[in-house]
Chains A and B, each alone.
Chain A
Amino acid sequence: MSAKTKNERLLDTPTLSVMLEKMYMIRAFEEKAEELYTLGKIHGTMHLSIGMEASAVGSVFTLNPDDLILSTHRGHGHCIAKGADMNLMMAEFMGKECGYCRGRGGSMHIADVDGGNLGANGVVAGGIPVAVGVGLGLKMEKKNRVHICFFGDGAANEGAFHEALNMAAIWNLPIVFICENNQYGMSMSIKKAMKIATISERAAAYGMPGVTVDGNDVFAVYTAVADAVDRARAGEGPSLVENVTYRWRGHSKSDANVYRTKEEIEEWKKKDPIVRLAERMQAEGRLAITQHEEIKSRAYKTIHDCAVFAEGCEDPALETIEEGVYAE
């Protein structure tokens, strides 16, 4: 159970119940993704965020429906948290014509443009410079919209990070940069990749606030990101929030986990963000055991149903292969 963080934002029980369900949906989606892969129904790779659900949900739930996000290669959670249609998302994951990207993008490029998800990105740090443009566009339209740019600890060592955070800061762009620090850039430990204790301290170099939070505590994530969203919406500029978390699975399907120990993974499984949220809700009398079971089974049923839907969808027709290279 998480202790209350300082100046914690209040979340009402109905909202928390939805957040819990979203976290279960992310978990269920990714477990289903693994299952489909094992059954040979998916080709290609995927990057699972199991164990990181609080970071996605706690961050995205601070946004208004018309706010935007830019996601990463490990982006299923962001997409689900932003309210994606699970049928279209699963269909995209399975490479189907009816999927969000007509089967052209797959796991690594799922985008729900109408829903405000401007897409997952296959290039580490590839979305961070794009975020500057999105921020500029939002600032120019003057509708008070903000957006979240997700990236990982690995991206924080790309040159793009430096250029983009600086540019966003000098122009006070309405962006919340969220670093999901899951400890490893593929096999490279964060401890070997940088000589500082936290990534958020880099924010000072750009003249923006930086904060590191327990990324497995959905309340802590929500509070930190909500502060940053308020700041962005008020025209005070970007912030950097570092959600410290851990991916239970390997980097991708090819990962044999030789760079970390089983003990380390097991330790982090004890910090399961879903269990922590459920336990705290129960302790506060906001979640009966029957409700919990109901939420969990509803989430798993949603994912089961969307997989059935997706399997029933057609593959893209070969005669459409070159469609969409250029916009009309």
Chain B
Amino acid sequence: MRELTYLEAVREALRQEMQRDEKVFLIGEDVGIYGGAFGVTRGLMDEFGPERVIDTPISELTIAGAITGAALVGMRPVGEIMFMDFITLASEQLVNQAAKIHFMFGGKGSVPCVMRTPMGSGTGAAAQHSQSLENWFVHVPGIKVVAPSTPYDVKGLLIQSIRDNNPVLFIESKLLYKTKGEVPEESFFIPLGKADIKRQGKDLTIIAYGIMAKRSLEAAEKLAAEGIDIEVVDPRTLKPLDEKTIIESVIKTGKVLIVHEACKTGGYGGELAAVIAGSEAFDYLDAPIVRLAGRDMPIPYNRNLELHTVPQVDDIVESARKLVHGKV
């Protein structure tokens, strides 16, 4: 199968959906002539015109309002927030409007829209351009949250997100944009709420999404050399969550390490840990549930400090090794 980068997979999903359905349009800062701050939408304005690839002023709140209102009158908009940090500026419209309208109106009217945004550190962009704020939105009923880790998942999940009849926050990992993987040329979709076992193993379950799924797979390969057999489960959709796949994996391995980049306190790992601890998997646990997450601090600028703020491959290796050897 031909390969695409993660970034190209986003673009291809957008292009194919725009070709399929004229109600799909893109809107955001610099998504048109500039092609997006990361180049994701490059070429799409030439192909679909400025009416369907809409450059906005720097007005995040109203980008969110624009996709909400357009969806309410039958369009299928895809918005972009240039850095996830700036979603703070858009959150009123996403949290109070987009997420609530269907319920608040008794099921009349729906808001089928997607807001794409890249998260994460590792680019030297410091505290206001590096955050991972997924759990804020996981906490809001009415919105779905997707965070893919491979080009294949990106394409299938983004197409499905555009076709979903609810607001979907589609979180891209900016450090993954250049990673490559096999992606079918034809349009396809992956259901939201379906986890993927990225690597089968028997000694320990690692649950990770986005860039951390990739790092966990690299860590698993290193540990394989030590005879440790890791299973890596990528939930792919944080909400709705495929609890079944996770619980089954933990029952199989008896040990679980949760890895994410977002700050540990109040992060998604707490939710995952509670889901496991409250399930039948509890009886199968041979060790405490361990969370390896970003430190509870802003992302620093200095390269070395930045690297040590969020989990790296070696951190995952070390945490996993300790867990497997009963040292936790």
Nearest-neighbor residue (CB-CB) of B59 within chain A: A163
Q: Which of B36-44, B95-103, B268-276 contacts A (4 or more CB under 8 A)?
A: B95-103
Does residue A126 face the partner (Cβ distance < 8 Å to B)? yes
CA distance A260 to B70 in the complex (A): 40
A160 to chain B: closest residue by CB:
B61
Of B57, B105, B144, the most chain A CB neighbours within 10 A belong to B105
CB distance from B31 to the nearest CB of A (A): 14
Q: Give the residues in chain B near A99, CB-CB below 8 Å.
A: 106
Whether the Cβ atoms of B74 and A141 lie closer than 8 Å is: yes
Q: Which residues of B contact A113 (CB under 8 A)?
A: 105, 108-109
CA distance A101 to B105 in the complex (A): 4
Q: Is the CB of B106 within 8 A of A130?
A: no
Q: Is the Cβ of B109 less than 8 Å from the Cβ of A119? A: yes
Q: Which of B65, B72, B104, B110 contacts A104 (CB 8 A)?
A: B104
B59, B69, B108: residue with the most chain A Cβ atoms closer than 10 Å: B69
Task: Identify B65's interface contact among A100, A118, A131, A325, CB under 8 A.
Answer: A131
- Contact of A134 (CB < 8 Å), options: B69, B141, B144: B69
Taking the complex as formed, is A135 at the interface, i.e. its CB lies under 8 A from any CB of chain B? yes
Residues of A within 8 A of B66 (CB): 129, 132-133, 136, 167
Query: Considering residues B73, B108, B112, which has the most beta carbons from chain A within 10 angstroms of its beta carbon?
Result: B73
B92 touches A123 (CB 8 A): yes
Shortest Cβ gap from A160 to chain B (Å): 6
Min Cβ gap A150→B in Å is 14
CB of B296 within 8 A of chain A?
no
Query: Does A190 touch B at the CB level, under 8 Å?
Result: no
Chain B residues with CB below 8 A from A324, complex form:
102-103, 106-107
- Residues on A with C-beta less than 8 A from B106 are 92, 99-105, 324
A105 to B73, CA, bound (A): 20
Q: Which residue of A lies closest to B67 (CB)?
A: A133
Q: Are B141 and A140 within 8 A (Cβ)?
A: no
Q: Does A122 make an interface contact (CB < 8 A)?
A: yes
Please determine whether A130 and B25 come into contact, CB atoms closer than 8 angstroms: no
| Nearest chain A CB to B144 CB, angstrom units | 8
Encode contact with B along A132-175: 1 for CB under 8 Å, 0 otherwise.
Answer: 11111110110000000000000000011001101100100000
Flag if B92 contacts A132 (CB, 8 Å).
no
A164 lies within 8 A of B62 (CB)? yes
- Mask, B47-69, CB within 8 Å of A = 1, is 00001001011010110111111
- B residues near A (Cβ < 8 Å) are 25, 27, 51, 54, 56-57, 59, 61-62, 64-75, 77, 92-93, 96-97, 101-112, 141-142, 144, 165-166
B-contact bits for A289-324, CB 8 A (1 contact / 0 none): 000000000000000000000000000000000011
Whether a CB of chain B sits under 8 angstroms from the CB of A90 is no
Shortest Cβ distance from residue A144 to the other chain B in the assembled complex, whole angstroms: 14
Given the contacts A114-B108, A326-B166, A136 and B75 also touching, CB distance less than 8 Å: yes
Interface contacts beyond A121-B97, A326-B165: sample of 19 additional A-B pairs, CB < 8 Å, sorted by A = A99-B106, A101-B106, A113-B108, A119-B101, A122-B96, A129-B61, A133-B68, A133-B70, A133-B72, A133-B73, A133-B77, A137-B71, A140-B25, A164-B59, A167-B59, A325-B102, A325-B141, A326-B142, A326-B144
How many whole Å from A326's CB to the nearest CB in chain B? 5
Q: Are A164 and B109 in contact (CB under 8 A)?
A: no
- Which residues of chain B come closer than 8 Å to A118, judged between CB atoms? 69, 72-73, 109
Q: Please, how many angstroms separate the alpha-carbon atoms of A137 and B113 in the complex? A: 13
A159 to B60, CA, bound (A): 11
Q: Do the beta carbons of B97 and A126 come within 8 Å of each other? A: yes
Q: How far, in whole Å, are A92 and B106 apart by their CA atoms in the complex?
A: 10
Complex CA gap A103/B71 in Å reads: 23
The reply to whether B109 and A130 contact each other, CB–CB distance below 8 Å, is no
Output the least CB separation between A212 and chain B (Å).
24
Whether A137 contacts B65 by the Cβ 8 Å rule is no
A and B contact pairs by CB, cutoff 8 A, 6 listed: A101-B104, A123-B92, A128-B65, A130-B97, A133-B68, A134-B69
